[in-house]
Chain A
Amino acid sequence: MPQWGMVIDLDRCTGCNACVAACHAENNLPIAGEEEAAKGRSFHWIRIERYIEGEYPNLKTRFIPVLCQHCDEAPCEPVCPVFATYHSPQGLNVQVYNRCIGTRFCANACPYTVRHFNWFDPRWPEPLERQLNPEVSVRTKGMIEKCTFCIQRIRKAADLAKDEERPVGDGEVQPACAQSCPTDAIVFGDLSDPGSRVSKLASQRRAFRLQEDLGTQPRVIYLKEGSE
């Protein structure tokens, strides 16, 4: 059984936000709007964090795309009273929308603040409501949602592989963020296969995980700058 994971090479990330836009389009993310965003109710399953070092004009900007880390020891999972979030055998931290009753305990427990609550029924400015992805449900008011590693794409690849009686190949599943990244900074694949591209990148010396000291064991591995 594949163990899905992601590598993000921060040396390649230019902070262009293409992944954010692609994620919105793929996963039917509502547009929060200026007013709600100012109240901290913005909606992004993946966001680009920006760190500016130095004083003008000698600035250096660093970017970190932050998405659900699909932690092996996820703090969001044990706090859910209705088991709407659980760990799948393939290592995904999964949110079952129709089970969610909106306690928001998981969002409070998440150290990466990647879980978002639907305060309202979803809204899209015209004509964006006509481009919803039929393979992803439209979440309604009162539900928590977050990055799924584009599980609909994983499901599709697994379905095709099953028909052809073979395992899912390396690079066959590409989440929307990885697909849209112009610098190829985001790589997705099976961490349990030592030959996969994602495993090779993750074993580099420059690999690290966000807030590693918390012991959450994230499935998203970042690569800092420098040589292998």
Chain B
Amino acid sequence: MTRARRHLMYGWMTALATLGSVAVWHSRGKPLEQPIAFSHRVHVVQNKIDCAYCHEHFRRYAVAGTPSVELCVTCHSGLRTSNSEAKKLFTFWEKRHEIPWVRLHQLPDHVVFTHKRHVRAGIACETCHGTIGQSDSFVREVDHSMGKCVDCHEQRGASIECWTCHK
């Protein structure tokens, strides 16, 4: 590829990244409504539960994993509190229904992402997930646009070849 072509390609990539960031900026900032007003802060900060206890796959697989209602009940069955939100958990459990959590981040179908590769490269959860671990609500804090991925890949010398991340 000649230098002119490469520069034109980077130009395109920047333009797309800018458009992407505008779209993401619009969708950020509003807290998501969840079926149960779950608080990461109560679990992570107050009760010191490790991320991997609930998102059990993130070190070994592509997906981090959402905990099953069974896993929630494992702890909560011993502590039937007066907290009305926590009690909602048992309505799902009694019906044997999974909790329909709303995803905070959803990458498009044409993107390949593996948690494993990133965690093993020493990327902290906060780099992409912000302060969700200390938060009471679900707010998109971190930009998940292509420009952000490319910036980080360039800084760390990771591959920025299209097919590393696109399928």
Find chain A residues with CB under 8 A from B110 CB: 97-98, 137
Known A98-B110, A137-B109, A159-B114: A83·B163 in contact at CB below 8 Å? no
Complex interface residues of chain B between 119 and 167 (CB less than 8 A to chain A): 120, 161-163, 166-167
Asked whether B12 lies within 8 Å of A82 as measured between CB atoms, the reply is yes
In the assembled complex, how far is the CB of residue A87 from the closest CB belonging to chain B, in whole angstroms?
A: 8
Q: Please, which residue of chain A has its CB at the minimum distance from the CB of B167?
A: A137
A205 at the interface (CB under 8 A from B): no
Q: Is the CB of B163 within 8 A of A92?
A: yes
Per-residue CB proximity of A68-106 to B under 8 Å, as 1/0?
000000000000001100101100101011110000000
The reply to whether A86 and B167 contact each other, CB–CB distance below 8 Å, is: no
Contact of B162 (CB < 8 Å), options: A86, A137, A162: A86
For the complex, give the distance between the alpha carbons of A159 and B165 in Å: 13
Minimum CB–CB distance for A1 against chain B, Å: 11
Say if the beta carbon of B102 comes within 8 Å of chain A: no
**In angstroms, how far is the closest chain B Cβ from the Cβ of A146?**
13
Instruction: Give chain B's interface residues, CB within 8 Å of chain A.
Output: 1, 5, 8-9, 12, 108-110, 112, 114, 116-117, 120, 161-163, 166-167
Task: Given contacts A135-B167, A151-B163, list 8 more A-B pairs with CB under 8 A.
Answer: A83-B5, A86-B1, A88-B163, A92-B163, A98-B110, A99-B162, A155-B112, A159-B116
